[in-house]
Amino acid sequence: MSEFTSQASQTRMVAESAMLPEACEAEALVVFATEGGIGEGAVAAVDGAVGGVIARLATAGEITGKACECVPILAPTGIKAGQLLVVGLGKREDLDTGVIYRAAASAAKTLAARKRGTVAFLADGTWTTRQLEHAVAGSCVGMVGQDLYRKEKKRSRFGTTVWLAAPPDAVERGQQLGDGINLTRRLVNLAPEDMYPQAFAEEASAVAGHLGIDIEVWDENRLAKENCGALLAVSRGSSRPPRLVIMRYRGPGRRDGAPELALVGKGVTFDSGGLSLKPADSMMGMKCDMAGAATMLGAIATIASLKLPVDVVAAMGLVENMTGPAAYKVGDVLTARNGVTIEVHNTDAEGRLVLADVLDVVRGLSPARIIDAATLTGACMVALGHDVAGLFTNDQASCDQLLAAAKVAGEPVWQMPMFRHYDAQIESDVADIKNVGDGRWGGAITAAKFLERFVGSTPWTHIDIAGPAFADKPKPWCDGGGTGVMVRSLVELVRGSPEETT
């Protein structure tokens, strides 16, 4: 346990709004620089203190300011820090919250390669409060790796992280956001043998207990009573029983009424494909198939930690998709909780079956809108690549809000079409629908079309995070493994537009 449940393994986060950077006794001082922007702002002030060495290195071409470039200047004179780390923000015209988040994370990742006592970051005076918060979140994320099971850690959290020229409340909010992202990442990075449905439910319960979020966990008996025939069918091939976690956070002043937002997550703790078994190469990495559930847990935990004035429910459908003797079969016809019958054409299209029942459960709570996140289809990666999440909706206005929030956070998303003619592709001869489209073309859309059958008229947006949820290779700003993608966007969505609150 760590994020939100214990302080022990965390960095101590300190804001020093008035301290001069040259007076800060840290092992390292991180300063941010845009391409060609050495002569202005915070970096220029520090450069003055160190006798112009940054400008000289820039002239020599050693420091370019390219996005996420990290150049250390060891033992500088004129400041108390043991080293100065100049991190690039890229071109000024490309600067957004995502760039700032990744730059801060890159610096933290670089410095976290060995144990450090105190590391200081100098906030740039031109950033908005939101951007500063995301920078702080990035500094939390960068110092945490995927080395959960290594004796010799590849990353060490700083003993103390100091943010200079930054207001304490913004630094605190940034750390809460970083904790949410790291929670999501850790759950994704755990081995599937350690992160099975009940284990996820226990993690969620610990987080809920710590943050005062109401939580309900449905076991296999309750799921049977609730007629969750689609979710249960997927779980039958596993020795691990399924769970449904329902968390309800009601912010200050939100005691009555229906939730304004329901977050739904796909939590397939391991996806072998079931009897439609995946080939070995595609099975590698399928511990990440609970990333949607982990994203929603990270999001609601952050929302609660920030005490946002909203009423949000999060529901995570947790199963393991395996091939045991009781496994569901191709040709089976399942009856989902809402009564729709589903002919199974491929047991590897399991995520939509799990989500079908979870979406129906949250619909029963009459939320104003639903957002689901799922590592749903390889087809979405074919369409959009590794770094972009696909959006699918039955309600353009609520999708637009999510698009706007993702823009505020600087996370790349792209909306896909939901034309009516795709519906024909999931028709079945023996049941109401089948769980795959005709052939593999447009597979991300036919999957979304399937989900659409379970949300009724509730405004709903589906986020396919199959690409960005898990990084096979490390990035400059993040070790490989779980990325925590979309936690920042979902939190920004719930916070509302930054113009209102800065």
**Cβ proximity of 258 and 366 under 8 Å:** yes
Q: Is 268 in the site for Zn ion (CB under 5 A)?
A: yes
Point out the residue whose Cβ comes nearest to Mn ion: 348
Nearer to ligand BES, 58 or 296 (CB): 296
Minimum Å distance from CB 400 to Zn ion?
Answer: 28
Work out what residue 176 binds among Zn ion, ligand BES, Mn ion, none; the CB cut-off runs from 5 to 8 Å by kind.
Answer: none
C-alpha distances (whole Å) from 23 to each of 26, 408, 502 are 9, 34, 30
Residue 11 CA to its chain's centroid (Å): 20
- Report the interface residues with ligand BES, using CB under 6 A: 271, 289, 346, 348-351, 375-379, 436, 443, 466
| 334 close to 239: Cβ distance less than 8 angstroms | no
Spatial separation of the C-alpha atoms in residues 137 and 134, rounded to whole Å: 5
Please, which residue, 187 or 349, has the CB nearer to ligand BES? Answer: 349
- Is 88 strand, coil or helix? strand
Q: Does 469 bind Zn ion (CB under 5 A)?
A: no
Catalytic residue among 80, 91, 278, 329: 278
Q: Least separation, in Å, of the C-beta of 117 and ligand BES?
A: 39
Contact 354, 230 (CB under 8 A): yes
Q: By CB under 5 A, tell whether 372 contacts Zn ion.
A: no
Residue 271 sits in the site that holds Zn ion (CB under 5 A): yes
Segment 226 to 245, residues that bind Zn ion, using CB under 5 A? none
Q: Give the SS3 label for residue 383.
A: helix
DSSP state of 242: P
Query: Identity (one letter) of the amino acid at 497?
Result: S
Rounded to an integer, what distance in angstroms lies between the CA atom of residue 227 and that of residue 337? 5
According to CB under 5 A, which one of 35, 203, 289, 357 is a site residue for Zn ion? 289
- Nearer to ligand BES by Cβ, of 351 and 459: the residue is 351
* SS3 assignment, position 444: helix
| Smallest distance from Mn ion to CB 363, Å | 24
**Nearest residue to 264 (alpha-carbon basis) of 238, 236, 292:** 292
CA–CA dist 234, 232 (Å, integer): 5
Tokens of 112: 């976290």
Instruction: Pick one of Mn ion, Zn ion, ligand BES, none as the site partner of residue 247 (Cβ within 5 to 8 A by kind).
Output: none
Beta carbons within 10 angstroms of residue 364's beta carbon: 10
Which distant-in-sequence residues (6+ apart) come within 8 Å of 477 by Cβ?
A: 68, 101, 102, 103, 105, 106, 109, 138, 141, 142
Q: Residue 328 to residues 279, 324, 374: CA-CA distances in angstroms?
A: 19, 9, 21
Of 268 and 445, CB closest to Zn ion: 268
Residues near Mn ion, by CB under 5 A? 271, 348, 350
DSSP 420: G
Least distance from C-beta 301 to ligand BES, angstroms?
Answer: 23
Binding map of Zn ion across residues 382-411, x = CB under 5 A, - = no contact: ------------------------------
Catalytic residue among 130, 287, 352, 453: 352
The burial of 134, by beta-carbon neighbours within 10 Å (0-12 exposed, 13-18 middle, 19 or more buried), is given as: buried
Does 278 qualify as catalytic in the annotation? yes
Structure tokens at 68: 């996420």
Nearer to Zn ion, 351 or 459 (CB): 351
Binding string, 303-342, against Zn ion, x = CB under 5 A?
----------------------------------------
Least distance between ligand BES and beta carbon 177 (Å): 25
Question: Using the rule CB under 5 A, which residue among 142, 178, 267, 351 binds Zn ion?
Answer: 351
Q: Smaller CB distance to Zn ion: residue 86 or 376? A: 376
Give the CA distances from residue 393 to residues 211, 216, 463, in Å, rounded to whole numbers and listed in that order.
Answer: 31, 28, 9
Between residues 378 and 474, which has the closer beta carbon with respect to ligand BES? 378
383 interacts with, out of Mn ion, ligand BES, Zn ion, none, CB within 5 to 8 A per kind: none
- As measured in angstroms, the least distance from the Cβ of 323 to Zn ion is 14
Closest-CB residue for ligand BES? 378
3 or 289: whose CB is closer to Zn ion? Answer: 289
Evaluate whether 446 touches 355 at the Cβ level (below 8 Å).
no
Q: Which does 379 bind (CB under 5 to 8 A by kind): Mn ion, Zn ion, ligand BES, none?
A: ligand BES
C-alpha 355/C-alpha 323 separation (Å) is 20
Measured between its terminal Cα atoms, the distance across the chain in Å is 33
Is-catalytic flag, 154?
no
Q: How far is the CB of 15 from ligand BES (least distance, A)?
A: 38
CB of 218 to Zn ion, least distance (A): 20
Note whether 40 and 125 are within 8 A (CB).
no
Q: Which residues are catalytic?
A: 278, 352
Provide the binding-site residues for Zn ion, judged by CB under 5 A: 268, 271, 289, 351
